[in-house]
Amino acid sequence: MNIEGDQVLEEICSYALHSKDFSVSAIENAYLCFWDALACLFHGVKSEECRRRMTPLFDSPGTCVIPGTLLKADPLNASYAISCAVRWLDYNDAWLAQEWGHPSDNLGGILACTQYMERIKGEKISGLKILEWMIKAHEIQGILSLKNSLNRFGLDHVAFVRVASAAIVTSILGGGEREVMSALSNSFVDGAPLRIYRHAPATGWRKSWAAADAVRRAVWLAFMAIKGEMGYPNVLSLPQWGFSDALLRGAPIVMERSLSQFVMENVLFKPFPAEYHSQSAIEAALELREEVLPKLEKIRRIEIHTQLPAIRIIHKQGPLHNPADRDHCLEYIVAIALLYGRVTQDLYEDEVARDPRIDALRKRMVTIEDKAYTSEYYDPEKMAVPNAIQVFFEDGTATIKKEILYPLGHPKRRSEFQKVLLQKIESSLDNLFSKERKKLILDLYLSKEKFFSKSSSELVSLFVPDI
């Protein structure tokens, strides 16, 4: 690079700007990721709470289509609305390391700005190119997350969403080294939000739109950079005032791996709308349900054995105040899996939460860290997300200790997940699209080559509701 700055920023700039030959597996995973995120978006826009937060600034029509809706907006608000709907139900992909996050949160900026470039600048950006931008955004956010823990300092992971989106969106908009460095460094100057909205007793709706807010800010910084806004290339390392000293008590931002395609090749998908650390616990509970359900009144204790991150993020006791609180409570999630035989978004609503059996089960639960699970979770060769459940009854009998090391959305079970993904897509289309349009969308999903050649505008036009 011609611009000198912190090495981490230089590496990200170079990666964002230069073409890469991505592997077949990375492209295939990106394809799954696009459709998984789209299904999450379609599910999300059906929520009244989501729609209320998608549209606060839409006073006039814009150039960018928001899939799943009849809305159009400018690139900033479109990026926010798209990412808000993708993220709303806590159903999109995940990445787990020292920092946790959801890399497809970045899709809003990519889809909004590729549409903008096509409609304002006359450029065609193919579906395949969108997947390549997704791989890069996933990689930047995910590699930053491997060894840099923001949560340890009470800060939220969406700072890394903003960083990844800023770099990639600026490149999409035609920026060069100077412009990408400007947007990237300014995204670090913005600091990081507090995690207060993700943890009891303050868990709230912001956890569902925080990433969208980060993406919108990234798009703003990208447009500012394109207009010539200056950057701060030493924002990470500057003594006292830099990101590391000011926010991380001197801990440096490091890149453990070179930027390639590692994150997309290993990204985690969600078969259930629930925080990712609970996914294998849901599977275990569902497998035990047939034995446990007839003996609910005779349960003495339910043991949940889990990893340290689950303890820190989703282990909760006492009252749960809203759906955003409940879908981040391991014990509530296990309870509804045992009681209802499914985990779906409607089971987090107030009406269901009033079922007295749920809290009765929660009071009998003991959540325990298994240090071996924590070790396997942090092992980069395993990247396990283990949980085990065992139910003990008053007569002294017990179920087996049902253990799931790798949940259904894990790379080790990718072929199993593809079947679930098709069902996820199909169900997401209900109440938005006609029978004829559903067929067109599903036919496109089943034809990668057709998807690869379509432009961004052609793709989103197919995803506008017709009923």
Q: At 368, is the secondary structure helix, strand, or coil? A: strand
pLDDT of residue 56: 58
| Of 330, 98, 301, the residue nearest 200 (C-alpha) | 330
pLDDT exceeds 60 at position 60: no
Q: Cβ distance 365 to 304 under 8 Å?
A: yes
Output the CA–CA distances (angstroms, integers) from residue 327 to 146, 207, 306, 446, in the order listed: 25, 11, 17, 31
pLDDT exceeds 90 at position 381: no
Task: Give the global pTM.
Answer: 0.94
Arithmetic mean of pLDDT, 252-278: 96
Q: How confident is the model at residue 55 (pLDDT cuts 50, 70, 90)?
A: confident
CATH number of 276-407: 3.30.1330.120
């009406």: which residue's tokens? 351
| The 3-state secondary structure of 243-285, one letter per residue | HHHHHCCCCCCCCCCCCCCHHHHHCECCCCCCCHHHHHHHHHH
pLDDT digits (tens, 9 = 90+) for 82-129: 999 999 999 999 999 899 999 999 999 999 999 999 998 888 999 999
Mean pLDDT of the chain: 95
pLDDT exceeds 70 at position 2: no
pLDDT exceeds 60 at position 190: yes
pLDDT of residue 15: 98
pLDDT exceeds 60 at position 59: no
The domain locations on the chain are: 7-266, 276-407
pLDDT exceeds 70 at position 463: yes
Arithmetic mean of pLDDT, 355-379: 97
Q: What's the start-to-end Cα distance of the chain, in Å?
A: 51
Q: Cβ distance 274 to 343 under 8 Å?
A: yes
Q: How confident is the model at residue 62 (pLDDT cuts 50, 70, 90)?
A: confident
pLDDT of residue 63: 85
pLDDT exceeds 90 at position 205: yes
pLDDT digits (tens, 9 = 90+) for 20-37: 999 999 999 999 999 999
Q: How far apart are CA 281 and CA 302, in angstroms?
A: 12
CATH of 7-266, one of 1.20.1050.10, 1.10.4100.10, 3.20.20.140, 1.20.120.80: 1.10.4100.10
Arithmetic mean of pLDDT, 346-372: 97
